[in-house]
Amino acid sequence: MSAKKPVMQNRNSIPSCDWPIEQLPGLSQEEQSQLQNYGIKTTGGLVKQGKTPQDRLILANKLQVHLQYVNKWIALADLARVPSVGTQYCGLLLHAGIGSVAQLA
């Protein structure tokens, strides 16, 4: 029996962080509750639920909020994945005009 070797990921990749949805800046208690009731409990879960523009529109309709809010939340959650950014600096970056990890790179 041979041992399986671990799959090597890109050496340049940075492990992403997953934060509780309560730590994402700019969300009211009501919005946090809405997301949690929908099954979104972490920033990673929010990013997964809003991968495509159509997914974001569906999420906005289910939560009965404007699409603009969902886009903002997903941008914040996306930036929060970067370990050195986290939930502490994602809002600052978004206000500075950086809306995604790709733009940060």
Per-residue pLDDT of the chain (105 residues; tens, 9 = 90+): 444 443 334 556 667 889 999 999 999 999 999 999 999 999 999 999 999 999 999 999 999 999 999 999 999 999 999 999 999 999 999 999 999 999 998
Total domains present in the chain: 1
Q: Considering the domain boundaries, does residue 6 fall inside one?
A: no
Q: Considering the domain boundaries, does residue 80 fall inside one?
A: yes
Domain holding 76, by residue range, is 21-104
Q: Considering the domain boundaries, does residue 40 fall inside one?
A: yes
Residues 98 and 57: their CA atoms lie apart, in Å, by 22
Residue owning tokens 């990921």 = 9
Q: Considering the domain boundaries, does residue 57 fall inside one?
A: yes
Q: Considering the domain boundaries, does residue 95 fall inside one?
A: yes
Q: Considering the domain boundaries, does residue 99 fall inside one?
A: yes
Q: Considering the domain boundaries, does residue 3 fall inside one?
A: no
4 secondary structure, DSSP code: P
